[in-house]
Amino acid sequence: MHSEKLFLEKMEEIVGALREAGFDPYAQLSGYLRTGNDAYITCRNNARMKIRGLDTGKIRKYLEEDGGSGL
């Protein structure tokens, strides 16, 4: 349960950094998952470093569940 909360907190920070940098979070996260290239993720607020430590399966599930409305 604690790890899920930590994952969601990191994703919120990453999504916030992408928005702050002027990017569409859904498009950037999708590009990251499609290619594995972390250049899709901004360096702002250490978002790129944060996403490197996250499980891509969880990120994919996050997009599927929240992508339409949460992003």
Q: What integer pLDDT is reported at residue 48 of this predicted model?
A: 97
Q: Is the Cα torsion angle 69, 18, 9, 53 positive or negative in sign? A: positive
Report the distance separating Cα 38 and Cα 4, nearest Å: 22
Cβ–Cβ < 8 Å for 18, 55: no
What predicted TM-score, i.e. pTM, was given to this entire model? 0.89
- Around 2, how many Cα atoms within 13 Å sit in the side-chain half-sphere? 0
Q: Flag whether pLDDT at 60 surpasses 90.
A: yes
Cβ–Cβ < 8 Å for 17, 42: yes
